[in-house]
Amino acid sequence: DIYTAMLRTGGDRLTAALNEFDLAGTTLVHCAAGKDRTGVIVAIAQMLAGVAEDAIIADYQRTEENIGGVFARLRDRKRIPAGTTIDAPILRTPREAIDLVFDAVEGFRGGPWAWFDAHGGDVGHFEAWVARFRAGR
């Protein structure tokens, strides 16, 4: 539900973050756990850069390997509801969640670049970022 809502009503906020990617250096993308908003933004950036779907999915699901540390930090900072356990679905990175992103962005009429443009993306800016990303600089 979180991903559906984010994609349905927050496309402009996702592209606003992508529009801020630094053309000359490193861009840090983060949120409380580093998997939902961050995962979606990074997945879209990778789609636009032409990264293979299986590599994007594997990257997204890497959070699962580190969820213990994420959970401890969120708990220590009182950013997680009392009684929430590490097994809570909100802390997982299920394939179905990232598939929603692919369905919305890759499945958009005209593909990811059309989705990006339709949601306020700065196409010229991000094309330059993709060129730099592909060059490995």
Tens of pLDDT, residue by residue over 60-102, are 988 888 889 888 988 899 888 889 999 988 888 889 999 999 9
End-to-end alpha carbon distance in the chain: 36
| Residue 18: closest CA among 134, 135, 124 | 124
pLDDT band of residue 131 (cuts 50, 70, 90) is: very high
For residues 38 and 29, the answer to whether their CB atoms sit within 8 Å is yes
Give 17's pLDDT tier (boundaries 50, 70, 90).
very high
Q: What is the pTM of this model?
A: 0.89
Could you give the CA distance from residue 60 to residue 81 in angstroms, rounded to a whole number? Answer: 24
Domains, the chain, with CATH or none = 2-135 (3.90.190.10)
Structure confidence at residue 44 as a pLDDT band (50, 70, 90): very high
d(CA 7, CA 44): 11
Helix axes 123-135, 111-118, angle to 10 degrees: 140
Opening angle at CA 58, ends 3 and 21, nearest 5: 65
pLDDT of 137 strictly over 60? no
Side chain identity, residue 121: G
Alpha-carbon distance of 23 to 126, in angstroms, equals 8
Residue 4 DSSP SS3: helix
What value does the mean pLDDT take over residues 21-42?
Answer: 87
Q: What is the pLDDT of residues 106-128, one digit of tens each?
A: 999 999 999 999 999 999 999 99
Q: Is the pLDDT of residue 33 over 80?
A: no
pLDDT range class, residue 9, cuts 50, 70, 90: very high
Pick the range with the lowest mean pLDDT from 27-36, 39-48, 60-69, 114-123: 27-36
Rounded CA separation 135/128 (Å): 11
Spatial CB neighbours of 48, under 8 Å, sequence gap ≥ 6: 18, 112, 113, 116, 126, 130
